[in-house]
A and B are shown apart, each in its own frame.
Chain A
Amino acid sequence: MTLAPHEHLEDHDRIPGTAPVDKARTRRPRNTPPWWFALPALLLFGFVVLVPSARGVYYAFTDWDGLDPHFSFVGLGNFADMFSDADAKQAIWHTLLIAVSITVVQNALGLALALGVNTAIKSRNVLRVFLFAPAVITPIVTAYLWRNLLGPEGAVNSLLGAVGLDGWRQDWLGSPRLALWAVVGVIVWQFAGYSMVIFLAGLQSVPKEIHEAAAMDGAGPARRFWSVTRPLLAPAFTINLMLSIIGGIKLFDQVYALTGGGPGHATDTISTLIYKDAFTLGEFGYSIALAVVLTIIVAVASTGQYLVLARNERAAS
């Protein structure tokens, strides 16, 4: 804990013998600002996000085509249609599959990279920049880049051919069996560095002394990771898992740019389906109903995950 300069002064100026109660009292208002400080931000959030969203939800119960000012109320019809829509069911499945695999792979890789560049190796600063670099590129740009790299004549296949692995050459984005995993691979490639940075920040807040003490008590590297590092990384896990699961569920731009949801519907996610149904087919009502379902899935998944991880965090600290 460092003290602000004037607090030092206060400490020095304190009349010996008086208790430091004063300090606590003068500091209180700064710790709990009045609630209406948040009012401008809340109002802005309300008008820009909440009100339009709530008004949008209304259309989920209509057959609006996005164009005609005349439309009718269809109750829960759009939601009922989802159960008979094979494309929607498939898209929900793909979304969950993508979200779970991204969350697992991206964070495992991010953690491994963070542990790697947190050691005393010489090039660690260069490596950190290098590994984080993909995360600062616009997703749509990386998607177009990979669309070319993964093409039948693209760099990935050429590289495989050059090292004698001709049998491994694939139609990465054209095969329904591989396309979904190619998408996951591209996203992990881009954002593993992002997870790494958050883990790295967590790792650097782990005091060296604790590690040294554990080492002196005879704990090996694995044991030290499990019993010292892991619990202290709990907040980093919480934020990383939250970000990747939310990002994974609402994934749109990378999928759309890489495969357009194809071949066929093999990589359609809820978001690409929302886009297609609304803007290509003009089924805005149905699309908004899908968006409402997506919102509920994100809310449930992230709240549930947060509750579990927060409990672990408390248990760890």
Chain B
Amino acid sequence: MKTRKPAALLAAVTATALLAACGGGTKAGGSAGESTTLTLASIDQGSVEDVVKAFEKANPGVTVRYTTSSADQYQQQIRTQLSSGTAPDVMSVWPGNGNPGATYVLAKPGYLRDLSDQPWAAKLPDAMKTVAQYEGKTYNAVFGQNGIGAVYHQQAMEKAGLTPPDTWTGLLEFCRAAKAKGTPAFALGNQDNWVTQLVLYALVATTVYGDDRDFDKKMRAGQATFAGSPWATALDKYLTMEKSGCFQKNPLGTTYEASQQLAATGRTLGIIQGNWVIALLKQKNPKATFTLKALPATDDPSGTIIPAAAGAGYAVNAKAKNEKLALKFVNFVMSPQGMNLFVKKQGGLPSLADTGYAVDPSLTEFSTFIKTDRTVPFMDQLWPNAKVQQTMLSGLQEIFSGQSTPDKLLKDMDADYQAGS
């Protein structure tokens, strides 16, 4: 019997120690909300660091504790944190609807603070307001906008003796000429399924919205569907491009990373991507020059439209531990200094007109399109749920691998769209 007592004691001590450890952990977590510390979760890896530094410099004594993560990881993390009450004071939020970290999705259950009373809220252009607001209130500090188009490697183009096409016929000729010279026109990294949508969006902008700016309204009212609309035309053109050799071999086995490598080193003449890819291409090949041009989808160059949309912005947690500092940070992001810092590093364009931002030469055409109102938001930003986009992404991979057809994809997207929010 002698041996039993110490064992029981040991067990009790172990259990107590464990409980104490748990208790200690909770306490440590709770003490983080001092008035000079701001917590921040961001997806702007590579650019938010500079903004945080500038913010800390402008506000001596303030410390920003921040984390950065990739989009899909972030969406999972932020939802878990919000529902368990452990979310940071300020967080990245996507504009509009249609993804798990989007403004509508997070504002609806009341997780975000209303930012309508902030000075910049009223100044946002209308196209931005539709995706930064939910039920008339502004929740998302959208600081930049992005566009999708053809990014050309200037030196590779000169070497091939080719110029960017501005008509659909010209595009196919360009692809054939490029292929004949042994350098495919565009790199396409469709193994990462989000990449599959970009060429389609670039074509849909012109084929769908060129003639009908109210297509989204009609969709919402149930007067239009994907199937039987010019979406089918765009999808058909996407496949025509693939058949005409516009892309390198095996796009489905090529990752986003590998596609950047191809375009940066001039093994393709360009890449159809968002403007954000330019900074990445420059990192991989600092000597080359890259320019973003609109991707033509018809033979009328004046009818070409670029998909351009508010990029992810920042929202304030409705239960922020340090609301005052959180608002200060968001307002800093929306000030000319913060906005320009962000936008310059990311290679986009600012969302407000009066920041005195000097547009990078690679984005001159994009900037002109914005000024002349020849842009439409990314298609998914106004879709009623996240499923439509996911169906489209895996469906496009299936079409490229012969497992599905364009008709089936558009019907599936209609079914998901009609299922509502």
Q: Contact residues of A with B, CB < 8 Å?
A: 29, 34, 36-37, 39-40, 43-44, 66-70, 147-148, 150-153, 171-176, 259-266, 276, 279-282
Contacts and interface: CB of A to CB of B under 8 A. Distances in A.
A39 B11 contact: yes
B315 to A, nearest CB: 14
Q: Give the top 8 A-B pairs by smallest Cβ distance, nearest first.
A: A174-B253, A174-B252, A264-B398, A152-B250, A171-B253, A263-B397, A279-B76, A171-B250
B400 interface: yes
B7 A37 contact: yes
- Most chain B beta carbons < 10 A, residue from A39, A67, A176, A261: A67
Nearest to B257: A148
Contact of B252 (A37, A40, A175, A280): A175
Nearest to B192: A260
Interface stretch (B170-178, B341-349, B386-394): B386-394
Interface in B55-102: 72, 75-76, 79-80, 82-83, 100
Contact of A171 (B8, B252, B397, B398): B252
Contacts of B15: 40, 43
- Most chain A beta carbons < 10 A, residue from B249, B254, B394: B394
Interface string B101-126: 00001101101000000000000000
A121 B251 CA distance: 46
B250 A174 contact: yes
B244 interface: no
B264 to A, nearest CB: 14
B386 A260 contact: no
Nearest to B73: A279
A176 B403 contact: yes
Nearest to B78: A67
B109 A174 contact: no
B13 to A, nearest CB: 10
A44 B22 CA distance: 12
Contact of A44 (B18, B258, B390): B18
Contacts of A36: 8, 11
Given A34-B4, A67-B106, A150-B253, A280 B192 contact: no
A280 B380 CA distance: 14
A265 B387 contact: no
A22 B105 CA distance: 73
Interface string B356-399: 00000000000000000000000000000111001000110110
Interface in B248-297: 248-255, 258
26 contacts: A37-B7, A39-B11, A40-B11, A40-B14, A40-B18, A66-B83, A67-B79, A69-B109, A70-B109, A171-B253, A174-B251, A174-B252, A175-B252, A176-B398, A176-B402, A259-B191, A262-B394, A262-B397, A264-B394, A264-B397, A265-B398, A279-B72, A280-B75, A280-B390, A281-B385, A282-B386
Contacts of A43: 15
Contacts of B390: 276, 280-281
A151 B76 CA distance: 28
B154 interface: no
Contacts of B109: 67-70
A176 B111 contact: no
Interface string B399-421: 01111100000000000000000
A238 to B, nearest CB: 32
B265 to A, nearest CB: 11
Given A266-B398, A281-B386, 13 more contacts: A67-B105, A148-B258, A152-B250, A172-B253, A262-B193, A262-B252, A263-B252, A264-B403, A279-B76, A280-B72, A280-B75, A281-B387, A282-B79
Nearest to A256: B72
A265 B80 CA distance: 26
Interface string B1-30: 001100110010011001000000000000
A152 B80 CA distance: 37
Contacts of B80: 66
A282 B386 CA distance: 8
- Most chain B beta carbons < 10 A, residue from A66, A70, A150, A152: A152
Contacts of B111: 67
A280 B74 CA distance: 11
A174 B386 CA distance: 25
Contacts of A175: 252-253, 401
A215 B119 CA distance: 91
Contacts of A37: 7, 11
A173 B7 contact: no
A282 B252 contact: no
Contacts of A261: 394
A70 B111 CA distance: 13
A261 B250 CA distance: 17
A263 B401 contact: yes
Nearest to A265: B394
Contacts of B76: 279
A66 B403 CA distance: 32
A173 B401 contact: no
Contact of A66 (B79, B191, B253, B401): B79
A172 to B, nearest CB: 7
Contacts of B7: 34, 37
- Most chain A beta carbons < 10 A, residue from B14, B252, B253, B258: B253
B192 to A, nearest CB: 7
A148 B100 CA distance: 29
Given A147-B255, A173-B191, A265-B394, A152 B249 contact: yes
Contacts of B105: 67, 282
A174 B191 contact: yes
A49 B321 CA distance: 31
A282 B193 contact: no
A260 B190 CA distance: 11
B281 to A, nearest CB: 18
A153 B76 CA distance: 32
Contacts of A266: 398, 401, 403
A279 B250 contact: no
B263 to A, nearest CB: 13
- Most chain B beta carbons < 10 A, residue from A69, A261, A280: A280
Contacts of A265: 394, 398
A281 B100 contact: yes
Nearest to A259: B191
Contacts of B394: 261-262, 264-265
Given A69-B109, A279-B72, A279-B100, A152 B403 contact: no
